[in-house]
A and B are shown apart, each in its own frame.
Chain A
Amino acid sequence: MTAVTPQRSAARGARDGFGQLLHAEWTKFRTVHGWVIGMIVAILVTGGLGVLIAKSAVPSCSVHSSSGQPGPVQHGAACGQPSYPLGPGGEPVRDAFYFVRQPLAGNGGIAVRVTSLTGPAAWSKGGIIISGGTRQGSAYAAMMVTGRHGVRMQWNYTGDTPGLAGLVSAARPRWLRLTRDGGTITGYDSADGTHWTRVGTVALAGLPATVQAGLFVTSPAQAAYSSTLGSGSVNNSPTQATAVFDHISQAGRWPASAWAGDDVGAGGPAGAPGSGYHQVAGRFTVTGSGDIAPLIGGALNDGPAITVRDYLLGTFAGLIAVAVVAAMFMTAEYRRGLIRTTLTASPHRGRVLAAKAIVIGSAAFITGLAAAAAAVLIATDVAHGNGAAVFPEPWPTELRIIAGTGALIAVAAVFTLAVATMVRRSAAAILIVIVTIVIPFVLSAPPGIPAGLTEWLLRITPAAAFALQQPTPEYYQVKASYIPSSGFFPLAPWTGFAVLCAWTALALAAAAYLLKRRDA
């Protein structure tokens, strides 16, 4: 180990030396058939499980009839591929509500007093809305009172900001106002109709010159689920809400002389009997059902149960294969005594570790990327051919999930390499990686284990990085099952990834220290 004087390697030049080191490690990796086969196995296992899951997905018509939810817009009566309206941001949305509307030409505004909202759901909504049109997925901004979350301003399905708190009643009415100025809409609320507070101003892209404005009421389906259930059964039943409005005032040019009622999104089973409105001397009573909100998929939720994340459930199996290779990439050196040759040829031990980490990290990244791309692309195709209801992922999210899976596998491989450098034994290295990454994931993926525990595990262990595969963000304004077994992680995607990176950085530092201090 100390036979070679340091001057010799320094004389070669640092950059040259590291390039050669990289090349040497790459040659070691590429010429061991078992390791290359291990990487190919990772791709096949991950992709194969994705296809299996897609193949076994139930065609949408049978899912649909059992849930009784106003969901996918069906193509006629046939059991075809369902489609979901997409919001302005490209995300799938639920857009069903009762709309009492008039066209508003150019700039203007509408204000109203709400004296009551009766509905069973915490997120029953009644208020005023300015919308690009009555087509589902149109751009909009709305001011509303809600069942239990006070006054809110919401826009374009995903936007939500709070206004006045408290429940609405005849004794404590709420005044709501929306004004349009070109592409921006501003919402105000008031408790008395004279002192107004601005709640928010939003810019809506693509709003036409003439918009539809008026009153709306909607109420989301309520689900009864329990995270402690062994089997994930859920019962989503539609609900209805009724709101009473008066003191309607309109500013600007409103070319139509009368209000028109519209059950938006009622093409499917959402057309619940009882939706509608009646008007008595400036007092409107409106009843509606549905929701204006992003669609939430995953098990137990009322969107499609299958999401892109489900195709990637096999990632952990691919990760095991990659971890086996990454561990052996280091432990084989100790087993065969090759480490002494390696360190004689390149006495800068930290650089040997860096070269190994770069080689295994890159190989694992390519492997993970190929595995995820194969799983998602082939499985999506298979599920569509199957007629299954699949959560339509906006492409940036899909890209993040695929690239993120590659990054997850790559960093996990480097973590394994670092651990293997510390413990020098395959068994111990694999054990540590399995206990810290695979077991937290495996305990959290199927339902049955209390979410309180699995969410805690997915915060502090390197398994937090699986958050990169979360298909939709968690929305405060939609009540749903946001637990790991439904595909929701306690940390944001890149935060979860940062947890894995932090563990890996610590492990690498410890590995570099031990590699330098110990005899090989």
Chain B
Amino acid sequence: MSTTAVRLGRARYGRETLHAEWTKLRTVASTGWLLLGAAALTIAVSAAVDAAAACPAGGCQADPAKLSLTGVQAGQAIVVIIGVLAVSSEYGTGMIRSTLTAMPRRLTVLAAKATIIAGLVLAVSSAAAAASVLAGRLILPGHGFTAAHGYPPLSLSHGPDLRAACGSVLYLALIALLSLGVATAVRETAVATGLVLGLLYVFPVVTSVVGNQHWQRHLEQVGPMTAGLYIQVTVKLRSLPLTPWQGLGVLALWAAGALITGALILRFRDA
């Protein structure tokens, strides 16, 4: 095993690992279906929210960019599964032992998996975010979100809208990495999925009824989903507890923490 590592250079070894992980993921039919499902659910929920929204003549305080990207809140559930399965399916089938026998540098394996998953999710969620914004651009003006009410049509050439869309893409990629890290740590598909989804959804639900404003701000600041989705906000930025990019940074910290925990457990525990 170690002879493999010696024979190949470090960079070459990394490339080989990346290639191996890509082949594994590419040749499993469920990966494609899940990616397609994540994009479809994101776009469908976004469009449904657009169609249900209303901005009456009296004006409204809605945020059209955030509304038209609401589907991310649902689509992320499938992204979580994608991130989790990338690791946990190997533990489920015992494949992990073959993987680690062939590629004994465990952290390189994890890095390769993270790179492939993040790349795939970035690509698919770019399409999903673009389609969601397009749906918002087409549907929202028919529901009162008109220039007369202070809402020009959504456009990716408009700075805040572009930031909301690109940020949503990064958000989904970070969610995938967070899930990958948690799955590496707990190894069990169902448990990892439940943990990540519970962690994500608990914050928006609980902060909606927390009466104490102080607590509410703090909980929103630390929640990976609540803070991460600040990146979609384009109106009343001053009332946010964090700036949009700081919010995404909070999610990045969660993802980094999960990946590091996963890496440590992968490195020091028997597979």
Please give the residue numbers on chain A whose beta carbons come within 8 Å of chain B beta carbons, in ascending order.
34, 38, 45, 49, 52-53, 56-58, 63, 226, 228-232, 299, 305-306, 310, 313-314, 316-317, 320-321, 323-324, 327-328, 331, 335, 388, 425-427, 429-431, 434-435, 438-439, 442-443, 445-453, 456, 485
CB atoms of A56 and B211 under 8 A apart: yes
Question: Taking the complex as formed, is B201 at the interface, i.e. its CB lies under 8 A from any CB of chain A?
Answer: yes
Verify B202–A314 contact, CB threshold 8 A: yes
A390 CB to nearest B CB, Å: 11
A425 to chain B: which residues have CB within 8 Å?
189
Residue pair A320, B194 in contact (C-beta under 8 Å): yes
- Could you say which residues of chain A place their CB within 8 Å of the CB of B41? 435
B62 and A324 form a contact (CB under 8 A): no
Q: Give complex CA distance A374, B20 in Å.
A: 50
Chain A contacts of B54 at CB under 8 A? 228, 450
Q: A58-B211, A430-B81 are in contact. Are A317 and B48 (CB under 8 A)?
A: no
| A453–B49 CB distance below 8 A | yes
| Given contact pairs A57-B211, A230-B63, A324 touches B49 in the complex (Cβ within 8 A) | no
Contact-size category for B: 35 or more
Q: In the complex, are the beta carbons of B205 and A445 less than 8 A apart? A: yes
- Residues of A with C-beta under 8 A to B89: 427
CB of A226 within 8 A of CB of B61, answer yes
Q: Which residues of A contact B2 (CB under 8 A)?
A: none
With A314-B202, A450-B54 given, name 5 new contacts (CB 8 A). A426-B188, A435-B41, A453-B52, A456-B52, A485-B208
* A430–B194 CB distance below 8 A: yes
Which residues of chain A have C-beta atoms less than 8 A from B35's C-beta? none
Whether B212 lies near A317 (C-beta < 8 A) is no
Most interface-central of B51, B54, B189 (chain A CB within 10 A): B189
Interface residue? B264 (CB, 8 A): no
| 24 residue pairs A–B, Cβ–Cβ below 8 Å | A53-B209, A56-B215, A57-B211, A57-B212, A230-B63, A231-B239, A317-B198, A317-B201, A323-B194, A328-B190, A335-B92, A426-B189, A427-B84, A427-B85, A430-B190, A431-B81, A438-B77, A438-B197, A442-B204, A445-B204, A449-B49, A452-B52, A453-B48, A453-B51
Query: Would you call A229 and B61 a contact (CB within 8 A)?
Result: yes
- Assess whether A316 is in contact with B205, with CB atoms less than 8 Å apart: yes
Complex Cα distance, B52 from A324, in Å, reads 32
Whether the pair A230, B73 counts as a contact (CB closer than 8 A) is no
**Measured CA separation A493–B208 after assembly (Å):** 22
Task: Pick from B193, B206, B208: contact of A430, CB below 8 A.
Answer: B193
Which residue in B49, B53, B73, B210 is a CB contact (below 8 Å) of A56?
Answer: B210
| Alpha-carbon distance A439/B38, docked complex (angstroms) | 13
B60 at the interface (CB under 8 A from A): yes
> What 0/1 readout, one digit per residue, does chain B (50-80) give for beta carbons within 8 Å of chain A?
0111110000111100100010011001100
Task: Render B251-265 as a binary contact track against A, CB cut-off 8 A, 1 for contact.
Answer: 000000000000000
Report yes or no: B209 in contact with A299, Cβ–Cβ below 8 A: yes
Is A438 within 8 A of B201, CB to CB?
A: yes
Q: Which residues of chain B have C-beta atoms less than 8 A from A335's C-beta?
A: 92
For residue A38, which residues in chain B have a CB less than 8 angstroms away from its CB? 191
Q: Once the chains are docked, how many angstroms separate the CA of A408 from the CA of B210?
A: 24
Interface string of B150-194 (1 = CB under 8 A from A): 000000000000000000000000000000000000001111011
**Option from A226, A310, A427, A435 in Cβ contact (under 8 Å) with B209:** A310
**Are A314 and B48 in contact (CB-based, < 8 A)?**
no
A53 with B60: CB separation less than 8 A: no
Which 8 pairs, one residue from A and one from B, show the smallest C-beta to C-beta distance?
Answer: A446-B208, A453-B52, A450-B52, A426-B190, A324-B194, A58-B211, A452-B52, A56-B212
Q: Is B207 an interface residue (CB 8 A)?
A: yes
Residues in A with CB closer than 8 Å to B78 are 431, 435
Q: Which of A228, A306, A316, A451 contacts B60 (CB 8 A)?
A: A228
